[in-house]
Amino acid sequence: MPKLKTTVRYGQVDGGDLGTVWFAESERGLWRIEFGRTKDRFLADLSQDGVEAVEDKTRTAGTRKALADYFSGKSSRFDLKVDWSRVDGFIRKALQVCAQIPHGKTWSYAEIARKAGSPGAARAVGQAMAKNPFPIVVPCHRVVKSDGSLGGFSGGLHFKRALLRLESEAVA
């Protein structure tokens, strides 16, 4: 019997300096967040995930509101469930540690590696952050080099700077 294809519901929100922020959620929680992409590219990425995507403004209203509140500075936390089912091993450990970074704070790649139980794996943390399917909610933009410099960001450093600026303005 063939495996049933997972269906995800998707929507969008205005991310200010990030432009349109696309998101998708499965029955288990948040599946993917992307920005700096067209709708067609986002849907192609979902197709590569092997899921069927259905636009659903009603059932994604909670996620849309949480993201909109974040971008407008009304909220600094997310109470969204994350679907960890497709992330495993060290990547999952590193992302789960990353999810604990407080709003307005940064942790180093080395600090994440230590907290994930793999001291000395700072480069592997960087690779894990680059594969983060839940940016913003799992705040990989808050991960910096040990010297405090930005390091990398899969969406581009201009997006990392914009997110850190948004959070510092919300904290101030």
Residue 27 sits in the same domain as residue 91? no
CATH of the domain at 63: 3.30.160.70
* Residue located via tokens 């067209």: 38
Angle at CA 21, nearest 5°, toward 20 and 24? Answer: 135
Find out whether 146 and 109 touch, Cβ atoms under 8 Å.
yes
Residue 132 sits in the same domain as residue 91? yes
Q: Which residues pair with 161 in a beta bridge?
A: none
98 in active site: no
Task: Identify whether 78 is part of a domain.
Answer: no
Q: For residue 3, what pLDDT is reported?
A: 56
**E strand or H helix at 68, and its extent?**
helix 61-71
Q: pLDDT tens digits, the chain, 172 residues: what are they? A: 445 578 999 999 999 989 999 999 999 999 999 999 999 999 999 999 999 999 999 999 999 999 999 999 898 889 999 999 989 999 999 999 999 999 989 999 999 999 999 999 999 999 999 999 999 999 999 999 999 999 888 878 989 999 999 888 765 4
Q: Which of 71, 97, 121 is the last residue of a domain?
A: 71
User: How far apart, in whole angstroms, are the C-alpha atoms of residue 133 and residue 140?
Assistant: 10
Question: Which residue in 140, 162, 163, 166 is the catalytic one?
Answer: 140
Q: Which of 71, 95, 111 is the last residue of a domain?
A: 71
Are β-strands 7-14 and 143-144 bridged in parallel, bridged antiparallel, or unpaired? unpaired
What global pTM score does this model have?
A: 0.92
Q: How large is the angle between the packed helices 122-130 and 89-98, nearest 10 degrees?
A: 90
Domain that holds residue 61: 7-71
3-state secondary structure (DSSP) of residue 47 = helix
- Residue 110 burial by Cβ neighbours in a 10 Å radius (0-12, 13-18, 19+): middle
